[in-house]
Amino acid sequence: MRGHTGAMTDAAAGKGGHAHDDVDWAATAATLSGWDELEEGRNRAIVDWLVVRPGQVVVDVGSGAGGMAAALLDAVGTAGTVVIVDGALELLTVARRRVERRDHHLVAVHADLEHEPLSRVLDVRPVDLVHASAVVHHLDDEFAAIRALVDVVRPGGRVVVVEGGLGNRFLPDDCGIGEPGVEQRLAAAQDAWFWSEVRPAGATVRTGRGWNVLLAEAGLLDVTARSFLLDLPPPLEESTRRVVCAVLAGQLARVDDRLGGEDRATLARLLDDDDPQGLMRRRDIFVLGARTVHVGTVPA
C-alpha cells in the first residue's frame, strides 16, 4: 500500500457526472475549501469520537475539498492509509493538495459512484472504516449506496454515514432589512430545491425511513448516531464572514427563483460588501449548525 502514496486512479474518466443532479461541484471548490477551514475542529472531534487508530485503512467517499480526509490521515498516521474517492476531478485535485503530506499514504480515486460500484474502483484492502459525508443523498438509490459502502469494509470494520443534522444558520432573525425571518424562508426554498432537483421523485428512490434504519437494514450491527455542532459565535473574523458570504451566495444562486422579490433584495444587500448592513460590515453574524454521524459495524 505504501506504493500508492499520492496516486490518483481514474475510474470515472470520460464520465459526465450525475444523471439528474445538476450541482457543479468544480465550481464549489473554493467555497468547500473555505468551509473545511471552519469545520477543522468539528472534523477532529468526529474522528476522535470514531476512535480511528494509527495504521488503519480508511476510505472517505465524496471527499469534497478534503477537510475530513486531512483529519483522518492525521489519525491513521504514517502506518495507515486514507483513500479519497470523488466524482469531481477538480475537487479531488484540491483535496489531494490539501491532504497529502510526507511519509503518509494517500490514494485518490476518481469515480462516479452512480456508474462505478465502489468495490470495483477500490483496490486497497482490507478497509477498516468507510466514511461518507453528504454524498449518499446525491446518489439515486441511497439504500443501494449504503450497501455498496458495506461491501468494501472488512468484517468487524465500520461504515460511517454523515447525513441529516441541522442546516447552518448565520443571521439574526431580524437583520434590519426587509421582513424578519429571511433565513428561514431561504432554508425552506433550499429544501424545496433539494427535493425537486437533487432527489426528484421520478429519478431517485425514496427510502421512507431514517438513516439508522437504513444502516441496520444494510446488515450493520450496533448502529448508533451522534450529532456534532459547528458553533462559531459572533463576532466572526473577516475571513469567516467571507466564507459565510460565499455559502449564502451559493444558496441564493440555487434558489433565487423560489424566493419573493423582497427576500432576494434583502439577501443581495446582505451580500453587498459596500452596504453598511451587509455581512462583511456586521458584528452579529454567526455560524451554527449540526452534522449527524451514523455509524454501524460490519458483522464479523
CA gyration radius for the chain?
20
34 versus 87: smaller Cβ distance to ligand SAM = 87
Residue 249 CA to residue 270 CA, distance in Å, equals 10
Residue number with the smallest Cβ distance to ligand SAM: 64
112 versus 142: smaller Cβ distance to ligand SAM = 112
- Cell 472488512 appears where? 154
Please count the other Cβ atoms lying within 10 Å of the Cβ belonging to residue 243: 21
- Chosen residue from 38, 50, 56, 112 binding ligand SAM by CB under 6 A: 112
Touching ligand SAM, residues 115-174 (CB under 6 A): 133-135, 138-139
Any contact of residue 25 with ligand SAM (CB under 6 A)?
yes
Angle between helices 238-255 and 261-270 in degrees, nearest 10: 160
Provide the minimum distance between the beta carbon of 87 and ligand SAM in the complex, in angstroms, as a whole number: 3
Provide the minimum distance between the beta carbon of 63 and ligand SAM in the complex, in angstroms, as a whole number: 6
| CA dihedral over 36, 37, 38, 44, signed as positive or negative | positive
Provide the minimum distance between the beta carbon of 271 and ligand SAM in the complex, in angstroms, as a whole number: 21
Q: Are 294 and 50 in contact (CB under 8 A)?
A: no
Touching ligand SAM, residues 72-101 (CB under 6 A): 86-88, 91
Burial of 254 (0-12, 13-18, 19+ CB in 10 A): middle
Provide the minimum distance between the beta carbon of 140 and ligand SAM in the complex, in angstroms, as a whole number: 9
140 versus 275: smaller Cβ distance to ligand SAM = 140
Provide the minimum distance between the beta carbon of 61 and ligand SAM in the complex, in angstroms, as a whole number: 7
Q: What is the DSSP letter of 175?
A: -
Cα 284–chain centre separation? 26
Residue 87 CA to residue 175 CA, distance in Å, equals 38
The piece of 57-65, 153-161, 233-241, 247-255 that touches ligand SAM (CB under 6 A) is 57-65
Which element (helix H / strand E) includes 119?
helix 118-121
32 versus 182: smaller Cβ distance to ligand SAM = 32
Provide the minimum distance between the beta carbon of 66 and ligand SAM in the complex, in angstroms, as a whole number: 9
List interacting residues with ligand SAM (CB under 6 A): 18, 25, 62-64, 86-88, 91, 112-114, 133-135, 138-139
